[in-house]
Amino acid sequence: MTDAITKVSIIISKGSLDGVYPGLIMANGARAEGIEANLFFTFFGLDAIHKARHEHIKMATVGNPGLHMPTMLGGIPGISTALTHFMNHKMEKLDIPSIPEFIEMIADTGAGLFACKASVDLFGLEKNDLIPQVQDIITVGEFYEKAAGGQIIFT
């Protein structure tokens, strides 16, 4: 018999629709099961918590093998916008909230939301560039302290 998972720390490093949602879904599921959850946004995953960008996350169309279409098609102007609209419409029909709503819901359950200090510094951001649900900007070492004793999931 294996021990029950009591804590997860989820790293979100991609700034695309298909890079952000898996981590949010996993965090939401963890909280629904009473599991402690922390989200650590790094590199382009910061877009999901950036005030000016979190409402404009798009589907990655170039080099996305899951789309089953040639990479060249993904680069055609408007394809990313069209596929993003299509996916958002499908998710809305399934009552999957938008990224800003989802993050707010997850934060309201008590999950921790943290930005990576190295990435924040790299992109020249400050705490006031991020949505209010972000609790802090932390180092990788501080992330490991928060993750101690739990599972780490990299999406």
Tens-digit pLDDT profile for residues 111-137: 999 999 999 999 999 999 999 999 999
Tens-digit pLDDT profile for residues 51-99: 999 999 998 888 778 888 887 787 888 888 888 889 999 999 999 999 9
* Domain 7-57+98-154 CATH assignment equals 3.40.1260.10: yes
Could you list the beta-strand ranges (E) of the chain. 7-12, 36-41, 112-116, 136-138, 151-154
